[in-house]
Amino acid sequence: MSRQDEARAFHYAVYDTVQQIPYGKVTSYGHIAKLIYKPKNSRHVGQALKYLSIEGPNDYPYHLNNVPWWRVINGAGAISPRDESSVQRQLQLLIEEGVVVVNNKVKLSEFGWFPETEFDDYT
């Protein structure tokens, strides 16, 4: 498996998990990382999402329109800073879904999606 393939597999796993976040809910990069059994790769979840805005390979089945990237924020409940326009777009999309954002922060106890990850017996 080439490095490219592994990268693609990782990205796909991220996108697939992000697609499972319910409408009107949000979760963190770290949680996504855990769900794909790579708890140390939280930063790469962000990289994967960033990749959505780039034009991928022809067979790339994921893109900005079929992956709810805006439902992923950081562990502090805030929209991770990057270029201004993207942050604004994300903020707007969240508000449209009814997610309350105060001081650029979401109350995770209310809108957070942290499903019980029953992989206790996973070793």
Partner DNA sequence: CGCCTGACCGTCA
Partner DNA sequence: TTGACGGCCAGGC
The C-alpha R_g of the chain, in whole angstroms, comes to 14
**Chosen residue from 37, 43, 92, 117 binding DNA by CB under 7 A:** 43
For the record, the structure tokens of 78 come out as: 């805030």
**Chosen residue from 1, 40, 121, 123 binding DNA by CB under 7 A:** 40
Does residue number 98 form part of the binding site for DNA (CB under 7 A)?
Answer: no
**Angle 78-22-46 (CA atoms, 0-180°, nearest 5)?**
45
CB of 118 to DNA, least distance (A): 18
What is the total count of residues that contact DNA (CB under 7 A)?
35
* Residues 14 and 45 sit within 8 Å (Cβ to Cβ): yes
* Residues 72 and 28 sit within 8 Å (Cβ to Cβ): yes
Which range in 46-54, 92-100, 106-114, 115-123 contacts DNA by CB under 7 A? 46-54
Rounded CA-CA distance 38/76 in Å is: 20
Does residue number 53 form part of the binding site for DNA (CB under 7 A)?
Answer: yes
Binders in 72-91 for DNA, by CB under 7 A: 72, 74-76, 80-82, 86, 90
**Beta strands 72-73 and 27-28, pairing class:** parallel
Site residues (vs DNA, CB under 7 A) = 3, 6-8, 10-11, 28-31, 40-47, 49-54, 69-70, 72, 74-76, 80-82, 86, 90
